[in-house]
Amino acid sequence: MNIRKIVLTLAILSLTGFAAFAQRFAYVDTEYILKHIPDYTAAEQKLNDMSENWQKEVDARYADIEKMYRAYQDDQVLLNDDARKKREDEIVNKERETKEFQRRIFGFEGELYQERLRLIQPIQEKVSKTIQAIAESQNLDLILDKGSEVNFLYANPRLDKSDEVITKLGYKPGNVAKQ
């Protein structure tokens, strides 16, 4: 258990008192919840397909660069300085363009990231609002996410509100195995 988790646990205990801790807390498994939402699984599949297609394009571009380089190596002794320099520049430019394409698609806040935000964020916000509504309606002080970095050494199943969130979102729980 790392120090951050210990400090978080101690802070929670000191603020709420141990008795309140056991009575006013619950947990959910957001991964389990999201697997029950068809729009989420469809969005994940779409993102995976997009990623695979873009990766194939990147791989094809690098394969072209490799062919250009091999052809250059084969012809290098036959080329004059100007022709050699021109071919080297073509290879370098093609590689630079490919790296820029790769960065634009897969880089920080690239097209894949933007598409993920567009498709996934509204679903996550809806789940978050539903969790908040359940917490407020049941006077819960804190709901933890079983699937996040918080480690559960033991979790009483009666405190698990995941199926309730799924039901409140309008879906049927139970067709996906919990972890």
Q: pLDDT tens digit string along 42-99?
A: 999 999 999 999 999 999 999 999 999 999 999 998 999 999 999 999 999 999 999 9
pLDDT in tens, 13-46: 555 555 444 457 888 989 999 999 999 999 999 9
pLDDT at 21: 45
Nearest to 31 by CA among 113, 123, 154: 123
The pTM score is: 0.71
Task: For 110-179, give the DSSP string.
Answer: -HHHHHHHHHHHHHHHHHHHHHHHHHHHTT-SEEEETTSSPPPS---GGGB-HHHHHHHTT--TTSS---
Let me know if domain 3-38+120-168 sits in CATH 1.10.10: no
Nearest to 161 by CA among 12, 20, 38, 29: 29
User: In which band, very low, low, confident or very high, does the pLDDT at 103 lie, cut at 50, 70 and 90?
Assistant: very high
User: In which band, very low, low, confident or very high, does the pLDDT at 1 lie, cut at 50, 70 and 90?
Assistant: very low
Average pLDDT over residues 105-126: 95
